[in-house]
Structure 1
């Protein structure tokens, strides 16, 4: 198969491959290079969510409509989801050094352009560039971690990349809220520039653990790339815009749904027939990688779903501004940060299935507690569920990373890393689409049910309406009309809260199912076992 050919072609130029198993002593140069790469990945993942709490400020600054401002997020996600699987082939062809340097430099330049945007059209183009170019940094770090470091060092490395992958999107609204409140929305992007320059310089001068294989360019599969772009780009659009536009009742979504299906057919055909497929799917023949990718997909649902759901509740129901939302959400990030060392220590001593089960159970317990949500819940009511969420994500993420990528041969790591990260992002996209649809549908359902009980002639309702009418009349307002409007608002808010509670119940069931799924996994190799022993 093509993957075998590429492995042979890449073998002479890959020092790690020639050495077999990497020695325990990792050169300081490579350690520093890895830290620079991790920071670059942190910036790229952070920018997925950093604007989420500040879209209103950007909308006002660019005089954009509500529909247009949503594309600040959508453009970034569509572009990034195309680059993530493509990055594996590019890294094999050009080397990690060149790909990461170009990605870091391009991401930095695109960030500066976003800060200078004077119209919504410019911002959308610059955000697409930022997402596409920066997307190459994310899988490169995962591949580098399992290439540079021997299994004996992964108890330190795995928690680090797991922490960045989960912490960055979680604290994105917090960072964005502080920057836009203290400075302006421009600093959501300008903050990347000095750090991006340093990462670019470090990547060019320090990354040295693989060599390019330029012969692959002659086999570049342009049809496969077109299929990949159509499949994932259109799919991301459908998932992002579907909940807002009645799904396939909207002609644009219906057309792009067809484009996605056609693109998928073209992409998978080329993946199995091209001499050098643009994305090597053979890693899925490894059972651990296949299950790990499934877990990563579900983790994406939980990670991005709750990072979205908490701010929506705090904004719509509690009336919090961006800064207050950020301060409330900081709890999960702190829990992740404190759990990362514990997860790393336990990963070398405890069965990975036990760690995953513990993490999934903690997450499920947190979402189950949230199923009792009311419109009065505040920071302290959300405290324990957020701690459980952060703890659960970190306890599960580290063993999932190790199971998915830790036993793959070096020639598979670059492509597999892109696929693994793609599953997490797609999980987030699917999760957000389902959550948004459930918010709309369940709010409507609960409103109709509540409205049946809020009718004239019921003593409780008549008494409440009379109180509201009297209060409004005392302030010189049409009492009856104002009371009806207030009652409608109260019922709407209660219906929305009940819809949020329903979503937390569904998420609980999803993660309880993951707990059960860990029971059917084979016992994974110990962290100290070599990849070749697998």
Structure 2
């Protein structure tokens, strides 16, 4: 049996320090998904490559991490949850140190892939170990406290990465993991080493693992390369898509018939698992796509600097930090389906407000929906993962957490690609419609061009200036379209949550897990 049944909950200082150690490791992991984003120009310049090649620093981490996360359940049964967690943290520290020392971009990309792969088990196992540390009545609150680290980290990443790049050198975005990781590994080993889960010598499902690498790797590469290669007009993108689909079909057939599958797909037979996972993944994909789109629009078409765009998106964590403990405390008393429905309504409201933005929107108008979105985040992750993991025996929680986190991470990547692609396609359409008004026969267009030329611009410069204004309006209207469509999909997600079975009594609270990032 698993450690949750063998061991009583931790008490006092041991429980507090255990929570700190697990949360520190999670914070470090989540921070690394976003800290390098703003440092890419500095890294690319220092290693002598183009910024486009520099994006592989992000991509390689994401691909390897997506492959490793669903392996958590199988690895934890083979090596033990505590040994796997501490080993994962120590290997992450080593990979971070080597990333900072990388002499070339090819070496850095390879080491970032290693860093992403060894990071895979950290988040699912921190959930599982933390659930075993608290009595059932306090588990919802424990997961809410843990969730706060995952809400702060993505906001801190770009701000900290920018400051380090400006004031130190880029390798320090990796070196800062070393003290945090060593403290987390030492703390976790000191407190949990006597609480190891039972190890089973499972055979290695090499075919399942190979198929997982093939289809996930192909899909992630398709998403990353699609936009710059005009999606399915590119032979390379079509090939990657075919490999991903065929690989997925073979993977499903193999895993569902293998005696010791590397990923436990039988979890999808449970109604609460598939409804919770699907609602979390679609909701997170919508959220993440819009999180990426907003700063892009602000920087490219509203004149915001990277720092100010970061500052506008940062307040999303404020109300989430305040309300998460409240949600955690009450998750056993209130039907989590009610909380999740409320989150979807607030998300829809926020995106509906953003769909009314215009090019005259000031800082206050842009900040208000961002602050309100923190309410939705607090009511989103904890109730949905409570539903997802409800009714599962403790020994299946690492597998379930790993699989649900994998689908959420993948949905985030898909959501980003869809949001940015739809944004650009809709902008092209709006640009064509708006440009029709700028013709020889249009009085307003003629007077605008005449005014610009009277100000000293040539005819070509005046037309270029008008084209920039049309561009700004087109991308504004396209952003409004994406925001409105996202709001509508959030409303449509509400019935999905109610397909899950109601949780009986307070039991559901003990399975709460904040799969925030």
TM-score (norm 1): 0.90
Q: Deviations over 1:304-331 (max 9, x none)?
A: 2232112212211223333222222211
**Mapped pair 1:491 → 2:475:** no
In the superposition, relative to structure 1, how do residues 471 and 120 fare at CA in structure 2: closer, same or farther (>3 Å)? farther
Moved more, 260-269 or 227-236: 260-269
**Mapped pair 1:119 → 2:74:** no
Distance of 2:323 and 2:38 partners within structure 1: 25
CA RMSD of aligned residues (A): 2.2
- 1:212 Cα deviation (Å)? 5.0
Distance of 2:509 and 2:109 partners within structure 1: 45
Distance of 2:235 and 2:50 partners within structure 1: 21
Q: Aligned pair count? A: 510
Distance of 1:450 and 1:496 partners within structure 2: 11
- 1:228 Cα deviation (Å)? 0.8
Question: Any conservation in 2 of the 1:472–1:483 contact (CA below 8 Å)?
Answer: no
1:322 is matched with which residue: 302, 306, 310?
306
Question: Any conservation in 2 of the 1:151–1:529 contact (CA below 8 Å)?
Answer: no
1:196 is matched with which residue: 163, 170, 181?
181
- 1:28 Cα deviation (Å)? 4.4
Which residue is equivalent to 1:213? Answer: 199
Which residue is equivalent to 1:17? Answer: 5
In the superposition, relative to structure 1, how do residues 328 and 346 fare at CA in structure 2: closer, same or farther (>3 Å)? same
Q: Secondary structure of the equivalent of 1:207?
A: helix
Distance of 2:256 and 2:197 partners within structure 1: 26
Distance of 2:499 and 2:35 partners within structure 1: 38
Distance of 2:456 and 2:156 partners within structure 1: 41
Distance of 2:294 and 2:175 partners within structure 1: 26
**Mapped pair 1:139 → 2:124:** yes
TM-score (norm 2): 0.93
Which residue is equivalent to 1:476? Answer: none
Which residue is equivalent to 2:290? Answer: 306
Distance of 1:291 and 1:163 partners within structure 2: 24
**Mapped pair 1:90 → 2:69:** no
Question: Any conservation in 1 of the 2:138–2:329 contact (CA below 8 Å)?
Answer: no
In the superposition, relative to structure 1, how do residues 392 and 451 fare at CA in structure 2: closer, same or farther (>3 Å)? same
Q: Secondary structure of the equivalent of 1:454?
A: coil
Distance of 1:35 and 1:286 partners within structure 2: 32
- 1:200 Cα deviation (Å)? 2.1
1:524 is matched with which residue: 464, 483, 503?
503
Which residue is equivalent to 1:455? Answer: 439
Which residue is equivalent to 1:173? Answer: 158
Q: Deviations over 1:202-233 (max 9, x none)?
A: 233322333352511xx110011001111111
Q: Deviations over 1:18-72 (max 9, x none)?
A: 46xx55x647435523431222112112211222233333333333224312212
- 1:531 Cα deviation (Å)? 7.3
Which residue is equivalent to 2:264? Answer: 280
Distance of 2:174 and 2:306 partners within structure 1: 17
| Structure 2 residue runs without a partner (length 5+) | 512-517
Which residue is equivalent to 2:23? Answer: 38
Written as runs of structure 1 = structure 2, the 5 A alignment for 1:81-480 is 81-208=66-193, 209-211=195-197, 213-216=199-202, 219-473=203-457, 479-480=458-459
In the superposition, relative to structure 1, how do residues 457 and 383 fare at CA in structure 2: closer, same or farther (>3 Å)? same
- 1:252 Cα deviation (Å)? 2.3
Q: Secondary structure of the equivalent of 2:267?
A: helix
Which residue is equivalent to 1:6? Answer: none
Question: Any conservation in 2 of the 1:363–1:392 contact (CA below 8 Å)?
Answer: yes
In the superposition, relative to structure 1, how do residues 526 and 507 fare at CA in structure 2: closer, same or farther (>3 Å)? farther
Distance of 2:93 and 2:384 partners within structure 1: 30
Question: Any conservation in 2 of the 1:243–1:433 contact (CA below 8 Å)?
Answer: yes
